[in-house]
């Protein structure tokens, strides 16, 4: 068997040597000052688990080395010291997380440990590491189930342990609106509450993040080198917003925050200019709260049924000389992207934004809009043509490993049992580049992402069970050029799952 440490994701290169770095308690860390924030977070992560960092003399030395690739690092563990080098804070943080994994191995009963609470023995090794893709994401649906900030922070910390660098926060959908928009107070009062369809007086799911909570999550993620990507789904999946502001829909309502699952025909009215005031206020909130470059504007599953019969929408089509209602979505998307560009943001949309004839200037999709591919059961032409036209892509192929709300094991009573299955191996083998793509087209792929939709995942505990260990498989696929050996991954996972246990997560265990 090859000699590799049980690290996930697997580093690009590693050379194991004889001996161990041994220490009692967490050793002190020193650096050239550039990486104080990263080492501070790392010390906090370990001391939360093992007690105070022992200070001097420092035995973990952090240094800058401009020759190391972006986000990459070099880690050398020798018998008497540990050296970490990186060109940037992202790389240093990633290196520290690999080191954190080695400290956590001891905690979870790895063979090297004498006294797991105080004594560590880290095997001597030299690692050189850098990512395969720059976009390594995870999406959590906080509309269908309102997840508490404490859970989101716990999850973000664990994502960063796996070098995931994007947290896609799905904040709005038919079943609940979670984003504060001061100009539209009924979003908080009405759109965030879902009623029991059988007992109208009862609310059975509700929740709304405050501005302070959102800032807390964003800062917590930033300290872990994760960019938060907020999503507001437009123009479909907006029934919750319509329930609060029915004048934004084609029929004028009344509407109710949806308790059912599915795709609904009531969406924003493309013929009503008031929707642009609404969207402008939403984008202002996003700009104020999320300093990151990216905003996801959804665009998936927007039926045109209402637009086909709505006089305002028909009038809009006539004015714009559009032949088919689907082009209205292209027109809206273009407007929304322009509004985000004015706010200095880059827009992302689900792959439906590519659809609809594009024979007019007013429906042309701006070149810098990024497309997130999810409908992997369809002909690949849509996505291959987009890559050929130079569009950047993020791969989240629904039925090829990315949707981890699908059940992982055959358990008729387990979470996700209502869906088809996505095994650990499916996630490990997620296709990030399709054989239909040329080398040049494949360069348009920024990376991949795992998604957890929450229609039937209605607690943090169930979410954890769905996320782990499939997230580990996805993280390795996104990060590691050395991915591809599923049997080797499963061997490393036996140690790695104990680390995840030690962070207090519920996990699915295939073999249990």
**In DSSP terms, which residues pair with 77 in a beta bridge?**
82, 125
Closer CB to Zn ion, residue 91 or residue 249? 249
Closer CB to ligand ACM, residue 42 or residue 374? 374
Q: How far apart, in whole angstroms, are the C-alpha atoms of residue 348 and residue 337? A: 9
In this structure, what are the phi and psi dihedrals at residue 357, rounded to the nearest 5 degrees? -55, 140
Q: Contact between 399 and ligand ACM (CB under 6 A)?
A: no
Q: Contact between 312 and Zn ion (CB under 5 A)?
A: yes
Q: How far apart, in whole angstroms, are the C-alpha atoms of residue 84 and residue 168? A: 29
Residues 6 or more apart in contact with residue 253 via CB below 8 angstroms: 242, 243, 246, 266
Select the binding partner of residue 295 from ligand ACM, Zn ion, none (C-beta < 5 to 8 A, by kind): none
334-393 binders of ligand ACM (CB under 6 A):
350, 374
Query: Is the distance from CB of 276 to CB of 342 less than 8 angstroms?
Result: no
Q: How far apart, in whole angstroms, are the C-alpha atoms of residue 208 and residue 366? A: 32
Sheet of 53-64: strand order equals 13-24, 119-129, 73-77, 82-86, 53-64, 26-31
The residue number with the shortest CB distance to ligand ACM is 300
C-alpha distances out from residue 130 to 91, 230, 367, 479, Å: 8, 26, 28, 8
Stretch of residues binding Zn ion (CB under 5 A), selected from 86-94, 196-204, 302-310, 460-468: 302-310
Q: Contact between 264 and ligand ACM (CB under 6 A)?
A: no
Closer CB to ligand ACM, residue 104 or residue 394? 394
Residue with tokens 């599953």: 301
Compute the least distance from the CB of residue 246 to Zn ion, in Å. 12
Select the binding partner of residue 313 from ligand ACM, Zn ion, none (C-beta < 5 to 8 A, by kind): Zn ion
Compute the least distance from the CB of residue 143 to ligand ACM, in Å. 12
Compute the least distance from the CB of residue 302 to Zn ion, in Å. 12
Select the binding partner of residue 269 from ligand ACM, Zn ion, none (C-beta < 5 to 8 A, by kind): Zn ion
Of residues 131, 271, 325, 447, which one binds Zn ion by CB under 5 A? 271
Compute the least distance from the CB of residue 354 to ligand ACM, in Å. 13
Closer CB to ligand ACM, residue 138 or residue 374? 374
Query: Is the distance from CB of 77 to CB of 56 less than 8 angstroms?
Result: no
Q: Contact between 269 and Zn ion (CB under 5 A)?
A: yes
Closer CB to ligand ACM, residue 422 or residue 480? 422
Select the binding partner of residue 472 from Zn ion, ligand ACM, none (C-beta < 5 to 8 A, by kind): none
Give the count of residues interacting with ligand ACM (CB under 6 A).
4
Would residue 264 be called left, alpha or beta, if left means φ above 0 and alpha means ψ between -120 and 50 degrees? Answer: beta
**In DSSP terms, which residues pair with 453 in a beta bridge?**
none
Closer CB to ligand ACM, residue 284 or residue 300? 300
Of residues 206, 265, 300, 429, which one binds ligand ACM by CB under 6 A? 300
Active site residues: 173, 237, 301
Q: Contact between 301 and ligand ACM (CB under 6 A)?
A: yes
Checking DSSP bridges between strand 445-452 and strand 135-141, what pairing results, if any?
A: parallel
Of residues 102, 229, 243, 250, which one binds Zn ion by CB under 5 A? 250
Q: How far apart, in whole angstroms, are the C-alpha atoms of residue 208 and residue 210? A: 6
Compute the least distance from the CB of residue 251 to Zn ion, in Å. 8
Tell whether omega for the bond before 254 is within 30 degrees of 0, i.e. cis: yes
Q: How far apart, in whole angstroms, are the C-alpha atoms of residue 327 and residue 364? A: 10
Interface residues with Zn ion (CB under 5 A) are 250, 269, 271, 310, 312-313
Interface residues with ligand ACM (CB under 6 A) are 300-301, 350, 374
């Amino acid at each position: 068997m090859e000699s590799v440490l049980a690290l996930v994701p697997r580093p690009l290169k590693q050379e194991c040597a004889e001996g161990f770095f041994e220490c009692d308690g967490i050793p002190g860390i020193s650096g050239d000052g550039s990486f104080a924030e990263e080492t501070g977070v790392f010390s906090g992560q370990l001391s939360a688990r093992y007690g105070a960092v022992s200070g001097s003399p420092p035995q973990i030395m952090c240094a800058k080395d401009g020759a190391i690739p972006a986000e990459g690092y070099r880690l050398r563990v020798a018998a008497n010291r540990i050296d970490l080098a990186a060109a940037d804070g992202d790389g240093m943080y990633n290196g520290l997380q690999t080191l954190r994994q080695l400290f956590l191995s001891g905690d979870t009963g790895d063979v090297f440990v004498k006294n797991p609470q105080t004594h560590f023995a880290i095997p001597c090794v030299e690692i050189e590491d850098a990512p395969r893709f720059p976009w390594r994401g995870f999406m959590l649906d906080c509309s269908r189930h309102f997840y508490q900030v404490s859970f989101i922070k716990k999850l973000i910390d664990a994502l960063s342990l796996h070098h995931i660098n994007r947290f896609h926060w799905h904040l709005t959908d038919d079943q609940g609106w979670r984003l504060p928009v001061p100009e539209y107070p009924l979003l908080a009062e009405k759109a965030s509450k879902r009623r029991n369809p059988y007992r109208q007086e009862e609310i059975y799911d509700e929740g709304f993040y405050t501005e302070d909570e959102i800032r807390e999550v964003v800062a917590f993620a930033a300290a872990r080198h994760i960019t938060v990507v907020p999503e507001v789904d437009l123009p479909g999946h907006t029934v919750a917003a319509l329930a609060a502001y029915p004048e934004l829909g084609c029929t004028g309502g009344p509407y109710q925050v949806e308790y059912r699952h599915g795709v609904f025909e009531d969406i924003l009215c493309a013929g009503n200019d008031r929707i642009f005031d609404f969207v402008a206020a939403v984008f202002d909130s996003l700009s104020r709260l999320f300093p990151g470059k990216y905003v996801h504007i959804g665009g998936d599953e927007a039926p045109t049924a209402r637009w086909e019969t709505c006089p305002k929408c028909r009038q809009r089509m006539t004015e714009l000389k559009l032949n088919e209602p689907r082009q209205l979505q292209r027109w809206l998307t273009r407007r929304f992207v322009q509004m985000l560009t004015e706010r200095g943001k880059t827009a992302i949309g689900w792959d439906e934004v590519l659809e609809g004839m594009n024979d007019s200037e007013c429906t042309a999709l701006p070149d810098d809009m990024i497309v997130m591919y999810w409908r992997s059961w369809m002909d690949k032409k849509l996505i291959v043509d987009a890559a050929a036209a130079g569009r950047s892509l993020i791969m989240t192929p629904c039925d090829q490993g990315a949707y981890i709300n699908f059940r992982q094991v055959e358990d008729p009573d387990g979470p996700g049992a209502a869906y088809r299955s996505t095994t650990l191996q499916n996630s490990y083998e997620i296709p990030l580049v399709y054989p239909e793509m040329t080398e040049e087209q494949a360069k348009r792929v920024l990376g991949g992402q795992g998604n957890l939709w929450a229609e039937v995942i209605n607690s943090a505990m169930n979410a954890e069970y769905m996320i782990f260990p499939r997230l580990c498989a996805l993280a390795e696929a996104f990060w590691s050029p050395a991915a591809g050996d599923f049997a080797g991954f499963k061997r490393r996972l036996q140690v790695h799952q104990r680390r995840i246990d030690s962070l207090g997560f519920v996990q699915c265990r295939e073999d249990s």
